[in-house]
Amino acid sequence: MSDPCCTVHRSQISSSAFLLSQSDICQPLPAHGPGTDESAAQSLKALADLHETLIPPEQLQETAMQRLADEKSFSVLVIRMDHFSQTPEPDALIGDAAASARQACIENEGFWGVFDADKLACFFAKKDEQAGLDIARNMQESPEAKLAGTLTIGVAAYPALDYEKSEILINAQKALEHAEFFGPGSTTAFDSVSLNVSGDKYYQAGDVKGAIVEFKRALELDPENVNVLNSLGVCYGVNQELEPALECFKKAAELEPAEIMVLYNAGYVHMCRGENEKALEYFQKAGQIDSGVFEVAFQTGRVHMEGGRPDTARKFLESAVSINEKSGAAFRYLADCYMQLDRDLDAAAAYKTALKLRPDDAEALSVLGYLYEMQGKNADIALMFCQRAVEMVPDNGLFRHRLGRVYFYRNCCEQALEEFQAACDCGHDSFEYLALSRDMTTDKDQDLQVQG
């Protein structure tokens, strides 16, 4: 979702998600703010001789706010020692990085402290963002910093939007996380992309509310940022707030008409609202830009299927499964499509693949059992599949009807009668087979009486 990673996923397995520019694998919530003295114990020990100037992590925020209480402007740098975890001599690296930070503070009347085990923080009163960036770059070029390898630095300044003074240190940390996308030795100022990166992390951790806060603030800084608009729309979408989601996607599409993500997402919202023809317009626009995106091909096929156009749907669904061979949902829809086109053998093969990928797909189980019964083969498997589908969804009348058919053609008339009755009770039209089963049961009872 953030700018440095805005590549479209072409093999996303989920068929019910909005298109994102990053993976939506759940991660821990981002930890914002200084670490603890315990986590930074090695750094504090290595800098023991500097206690007259050093501020430890647990005192950093409070001390900084006390010193900056009367300041109307200031900048903050959060500095990461890039090679901290790889160096065999961390104490020397910490000392060199601290020397660079200390010298910068002497030259610019600032103060500094330890932010975490591998990070330092510097504060400069009456320095704006540009001044903070200049100080950061001078630090990176200093002899001490070069001894330390490379330093990656995030810069933030006060005032900014409606942020409190106490939040600027965290903004600098977010800028550092943004800078990490550009590799070791980078410097980035806090901006809308920093907030987009932060919002991504909240979203990936499952905190959609926190993500929305970040994306809204990002839009205050850059109202026409297409990636942020898309990200905010996704958050609204997963919260089922479809109207504001659609507004975000439409605005993004107006700003960038060739952006596949926002075109797809706008179409997906329309589909969720039951506006399939409007959805199709967006999906087709996205497909014209790039026909190789799985979600676009799959959802286009779905819309055509729901519109009663299985022949048109087929090529899109076949394209979808060729793009992503691990999507059970796509194979299921393709199998349904083949069924409507009377291509039973192809349908059976597609249902089998769907079940391998999604063994809990009750619809595929039921239909495949029905197909086996119709083809007169794998009778025991046909029965087992239909039974499992009914066990999974006992109130599905169609599943009950299919199971009844399997029993009926195996001359299990009592079980067939029970299933057809259950199918009727669930609202499925099984009355013809229900009557036939009753007749069969009556005939069987009469034969038994004669034999007796």
pLDDT of 169-188, one tens digit each?
Answer: 999 999 999 999 999 999 99
Confidence of residue 133 (pLDDT cuts 50, 70, 90): very high
Confidence of residue 443 (pLDDT cuts 50, 70, 90): low
Task: Provide the CB-side half-sphere exposure for 416 (13 A, CA).
Answer: 21
For residue 73, is pLDDT > 50? Answer: yes
pLDDT tens readout for residues 372-395: 988 887 889 999 999 999 999 999
Please state the separation of Cα 228 from the chain's center in Å: 15
Give the count of beta carbons closer than 10 Å to the beta carbon of residue 67: 15
In the chain, ranges of CATH 3.30.70.270 domains: 41-190
SS (H, E, C) 358-397: CCCCHHHHHHHHHHHHHHCCCHHHHHHHHHHHHHHCCCCH
29 or 233, which is more confident? Answer: 233
The CATH classification number of 41-190 equals 3.30.70.270
Q: What is the mean pLDDT of residues 292-317?
A: 96
For residue 148, is pLDDT > 70? Answer: no
Residue position matching structure tokens 């053609």: 409
Q: Looking at residue 89, what is its pLDDT?
A: 84
As a whole-number percent, the residues of the chain with pLDDT over 70 amount to: 91
Q: Looking at residue 186, what is its pLDDT?
A: 95
Please state the separation of Cα 238 from the chain's center in Å: 10
Q: Looking at residue 374, what is its pLDDT?
A: 87
Q: Looking at residue 2, what is its pLDDT?
A: 44
Q: pTM for the full model?
A: 0.82
Q: What is the mean pLDDT of residues 53-63?
A: 92
Q: Looking at residue 324, what is its pLDDT?
A: 95
For the ranges 145-154, 254-263, 331-340, which has the lowest average pLDDT?
Answer: 145-154
416 or 441, which is more confident? Answer: 416
Q: Looking at residue 26, what is its pLDDT?
A: 52
For residue 423, is pLDDT > 90? Answer: yes
Q: Looking at residue 441, what is its pLDDT?
A: 75
Considering the four listed CATH numbers 1.25.40.10, 1.20.1250.20, 3.40.50.2300, 3.40.630.10, the one that applies to the domain covering 360-439 is 1.25.40.10
Confidence of residue 22 (pLDDT cuts 50, 70, 90): very low
For residue 268, is pLDDT > 80? Answer: yes
What are the CB-based long-range contacts (under 8 Å, 24+) for 403-410?
Answer: 403/366, 403/369, 404/430, 404/433, 404/437, 405/370, 405/373, 405/433, 406/369, 406/370, 406/373, 406/379, 406/382, 407/383, 408/433, 408/436, 408/437, 408/440, 409/373, 410/379, 410/383
In the chain, ranges of CATH 1.25.40.10 domains: 360-439
Confidence of residue 48 (pLDDT cuts 50, 70, 90): confident
For the ranges 15-29, 319-333, 369-383, which has the lowest average pLDDT?
Answer: 15-29
For residue 3, is pLDDT > 60? Answer: no
- Which of 91, 105, 115 has its CA nearest to residue 32? 115
pLDDT tens readout for residues 198-251: 999 999 888 999 999 999 999 999 999 999 999 999 999 999 999 999 999 999
CA distances from 108 to 63, 128, 134 (A): 18, 12, 11
Note whether 84 and 90 are within 8 A (CB): yes
Q: Looking at residue 236, what is its pLDDT?
A: 95
Q: Looking at residue 19, what is its pLDDT?
A: 65
For residue 448, is pLDDT > 80? Answer: no
212 or 54, which is more confident? Answer: 212
For residue 20, is pLDDT > 90? Answer: no
SS (H, E, C) the chain: CCHHHCCCCCCCCCCCCCCCCCCCCCCCCCCCCCCCCCCCHHHHHHCHHHCCCCCCHHHHHHHHHHHCCCCCCEEEEEEEECCCCCCCCHHHHHHHHHHHHHHHHHHHCCEEEEEECCEEEEEEECCCHHHHHHHHHHHHHCHHHHHCCCEEEEEEEECCCCCCHHHHHHHHHHHHHHHHHHCCCCEEECCHHHHHHHHHHHHHCCCHHHHHHHHHHHHHHCCCCHHHHHHHHHHHHHCCCHHHHHHHHHHHHHHCCCCHHHHHHHHHHHHHCCCHHHHHHHHHHHHHHCCCCHHHHHHHHHHHHHCCCHHHHHHHHHHHHHHCCCCHHHHHHHHHHHHHCCCHHHHHHHHHHHHHHCCCCHHHHHHHHHHHHHHCCCHHHHHHHHHHHHHHCCCCHHHHHHHHHHHHHCCCHHHHHHHHHHHHHCCCCCHHHHHHHHHHHHHHHHHHHHHC
Contacts of 288 (CB under 8 A, 6+ apart): none
Q: What is the mean pLDDT of residues 70-78?
A: 97
Please, which residues bridge with residue 78 across strands? 121, 154
Q: What's the chain's average pLDDT? A: 89
